[in-house]
A and B are shown apart, each in its own frame.
Chain A
């Protein structure tokens, strides 16, 4: 086994289960030396789990890893590192307040006598690697001040210092600008020349085609194909998302009324100061459901949070029912008739230690009939809770059971019961059926359609294309903070996948779609 040089890597039959969910299902993967191997798939396809197995962070239930035809076991990342596997995580493992050099040598620091750090040697080693592989980094710069693209380079240098022969890059371009991506590709090609292999994980088609030597496509934990990089966008997209629409929701055609939600040129910054929503414009009418499709991390979360006043708006306007409510406090928005189903039900939607009854009034406890003035009417809360539990078929031993003991599906039902069980004119739902069983999914969909038919405007975000297709009256696709297309649900799935992955529409489906920049409603056909 040649560390720092060429290495043959094979994953055979890797299977990993989490609580009944099969994250990896008998996956075979071979990576030759000097090869850039692309791992393509949507969220939840199993890519990160597979790499965590390879890197020694988790143990597979079945299957084996072979290096140069010899089976190996990695119980800790250290063992994987020693065997020549290097990983650049999606969320960097860098200490922000340290310099580049300090981060790179952490754990293998060069020392002078008495344990004093040999900073000069560390700098030199970093500069050497930097020059050799064209990874320009300043060893004395503090990581927290570096742009994300440079931080990524630091991670790569870190892996190279430990003489990685196989470099795993997990969604590296998710945080890069196009020019930074080009830089990264150049670096990858140089590394390839030196005999190293790279596993490149991404959901972006164009990049796969540009850089990968071979591609393996994962879907729902399984390998579904190994197309060549010369394959067309359409072919790759279809492998990635599958062909059949598996869920059908029975609903009448939409009867859109007046515009309820009018977003214009909205700019929202994420918590770390990056632009997450980049001049988005969108309108949602009463009596229609608009689904926002897109891979996680393209600004959908920030958009939905900004609509509820949970993230400050950096520019643009949000109008609800004609009223400018751009910088309004969350409570006032809720009181004005907005319902919110947050993305993370356990962190944002429920208080797990509260009872079901208490959770059912979490954002309306101060309104009649649940309270008058400062006094809570506990009996009313309980009566209402019992009624809701029955109406929404929430499976719970009692209304006093802490919410955390409920299953995910029933927890979501509590939130739905709370948000949709009152008069509302705008529903904002982010990943409303994440982690739910089929029955609960069907329930949630039914309620959302009911809300629509009662006259509410419904805006929902989902990464599940089945759901997007089944539920939406119109589909808006978000990519890198912008709306790159608004399409009807009749658009073929490959086209949608294309938009989601940053590709361009062609031919059929282009009619009725708007690319980049502001989107106003297409005229009703």
Chain B
């Protein structure tokens, strides 16, 4: 029964909308939608569980939960709470201090540290004032690209869990071009970046090809490829060709200075051209999705593969193209890290970017603009988290907890509505369950 050619026809259900909200145009201009005064429109948005509202509430709730976690794993706080009934004020004050201290440290690490501002007025370094923002932007760079990778694939109805593997593919090629090839300055950077894109695109293409030809589910293939790539880079870094001279550990030679992405604001601030590349990529993805035939096809297949077929499109070809692009974007993230911040290839270079891609894209509703904003938020959390750990010894893993909480809350607007008693008039950006079926 399972061998008829007719089963090879993908039995699609409706292509389910990717995690993007239904409304296209929200409150434009001072008049707001339908010409109502702004403040009333805002009030409506709050009461109706509009997706921006849900996002903000989700972030807020996550921070509250995170704050509770921080407080109640702090020994001083726990000690104060053991005397809750004798000194209740102190207990709450300590709890508040712990959480507030953590979040303010985060703020100082991500946005601005008032001390540096004050110091600047007395002849201190101006660059230091902008360091937190620079860190945020630097951390956000690969997140933007990885988030775009997952996002663009999801607009076509595909789950690209393989950003990590595609990242590695891109990092490997970009890194190799960086340290093994000798080219003049600008050309070297460009070739390496293109190589990064190509490396990631190839890994992505495998996924798309298998899905189009055999119906293999992209979730499994991407997860498996992640591991394959992890072992591949481990293997390659064991080869002398790839290894740094005289070092026993798996680390590649450093990327040539000609291939390094230049800093944007001087050498004390880490933010580099990679950030511009990421923003440009976001713009390019927007242009692709909204202003090209390819993007039109992509979006159609993602929303309703059946209608796409009836309109003459080929979902299979679309999947291959999309995975190429998504893989390439993740590969660019790899190139941005190798050429912009790390400068060497290591086995763990892909860090957490694989899963960050997903959380960033989910928060940004798979739209390029939203993805940039979400990546900046998470970049801020990471940058701030590092500072927070340095200052308060609170482990930086709290950022991961916050991230996943935000995404969980955003993914379930009904939950937010229940907590905040919002009226459910519109399904605000609810991710619709699709399961294994394409």
Contact = CB atoms under 8 A, between A and B. Distances in A.
Given A312-B5, A330-B312, A363-B311, A348 B292 contact: no
Interface in B336-375: none
Contact of A376 (B17, B24, B291): B291
B293 A355 contact: no
A252 interface: no
A198 B313 CA distance: 48
A479 to B, nearest CB: 24
**Interface extent on B, as a size class?**
20 to 34
A332 B311 CA distance: 11
B25 interface: yes
B22 A353 contact: yes
Given A330-B312, A362-B300, A374-B293, A400 B25 contact: yes
Contacts of A491: none
A402 B22 contact: yes
Contact of B304 (A310, A332, A347, A402): A347
A374 B292 contact: yes
Contacts of A400: 24-25
A426 to B, nearest CB: 15
Contacts of A329: 312, 314
A340 B308 CA distance: 13
Interface string B361-402: 000000000000000000000000000000000000000000
Contacts of B296: 358, 365-366, 376
A436 interface: no
A375 B310 contact: no
Interface string B288-332: 001111111001100110111111111000000000000000000
Given A330-B310, A362-B307, A351 B4 contact: no
Contacts of A363: 310-312
Nearest to A144: B1
A378 B4 CA distance: 43
A120 interface: no
A273 interface: yes
A40 interface: no
A342 B304 CA distance: 14
A272 B5 CA distance: 11
Contacts of A378: 290-291
Contact of B293 (A272, A332, A333, A371): A371
A348 B24 contact: no
A487 B430 CA distance: 52
B206 to A, nearest CB: 24
B11 A348 contact: no
A371 B291 CA distance: 9
Interface string B1-28: 1001110010100100100001011000
Interface in A360-384: 362-363, 365-366, 371, 374-376, 378
Contacts of A308: 310
A524 to B, nearest CB: 35
Given A273-B6, A400-B25, A330 B293 contact: no
B291 A354 contact: no
Contacts of A352: 303-304
A402 B292 contact: no
Interface residues of A, number: 39
A121 interface: no
B304 A351 contact: yes
A84 to B, nearest CB: 35
Nearest to B20: A353
Nearest to B296: A365
B7 to A, nearest CB: 9
Interface string A330-347: 111111000010100001
A484 interface: no
Contacts of B24: 355, 400, 402
B293 A350 contact: no
Nearest to A338: B312
Contact of B309 (A145, A271, A310): A310
Contacts of B22: 353, 402
B14 A354 contact: no
Q: Which of B11, B17, B306 is most buried by chain A, counting CB atoms within 10 A of its CB? A: B306
B303 A353 contact: yes
A362 B311 contact: yes
Given A329-B312, A366-B293, A347 B14 contact: yes
B309 A330 contact: yes
A272 B7 CA distance: 8
A96 B270 CA distance: 61
A303 to B, nearest CB: 15
Q: Which of B14, B307, B313 is most buried by chain A, counting CB atoms within 10 A of its CB? A: B307
A214 B296 CA distance: 57
Interface string A246-276: 0000000000000000000000010111000
A371 B17 CA distance: 25
B38 to A, nearest CB: 21
A379 to B, nearest CB: 11
Given A312-B5, A347-B304, A362-B307, A375 B292 contact: yes
Nearest to B14: A347
B309 to A, nearest CB: 6
Contacts of B17: 353
Contacts of B9: 271, 312
Nearest to A361: B296
B293 A348 contact: no
A60 interface: no
Nearest to B312: A331
Contact of B300 (A145, A273, A351): A351
B292 A310 contact: no
Contacts of B304: 347, 350-352
A349 interface: yes
Nearest to B11: A271
Contacts of B313: 331
A354 B310 contact: no
B366 to A, nearest CB: 13
A402 B311 CA distance: 18
B259 to A, nearest CB: 30
Contacts of A342: 310
Nearest to A374: B292
B300 A354 contact: yes
Interface in B61-77: none
Nearest to A309: B312
A376 B310 contact: no
A375 to B, nearest CB: 6
Contacts of A362: 300, 307, 311
Contacts of B14: 347
A378 B6 CA distance: 38
A348 B300 contact: no
A365 B300 CA distance: 11
A397 to B, nearest CB: 9
Contact of A354 (B290, B295, B303, B312): B303
Contacts of B293: 365-366, 371, 374-376
B309 A347 contact: no
Given A145-B1, A353-B22, A269 B6 contact: yes
A310 B292 CA distance: 25
B78 to A, nearest CB: 47
Nearest 10 Cβ contacts at the A-B interface = A331-B312, A363-B311, A348-B310, A330-B312, A362-B311, A351-B304, A334-B312, A366-B293, A351-B303, A371-B293
29 contacts: A271-B11, A310-B309, A312-B6, A329-B314, A330-B309, A330-B311, A331-B312, A335-B312, A340-B310, A347-B304, A347-B306, A347-B307, A348-B307, A348-B310, A349-B310, A351-B304, A351-B307, A352-B304, A353-B22, A354-B299, A358-B296, A362-B307, A366-B293, A374-B294, A376-B291, A376-B293, A376-B296, A400-B24, A400-B25
Interface of A: 144-145, 269, 271-273, 308, 310, 312, 329-335, 340, 342, 347-355, 358, 362-363, 365-366, 371, 374-376, 378, 400, 402
Given A351-B300, A374-B294, 4 more contacts: A347-B306, A351-B307, A358-B296, A375-B291
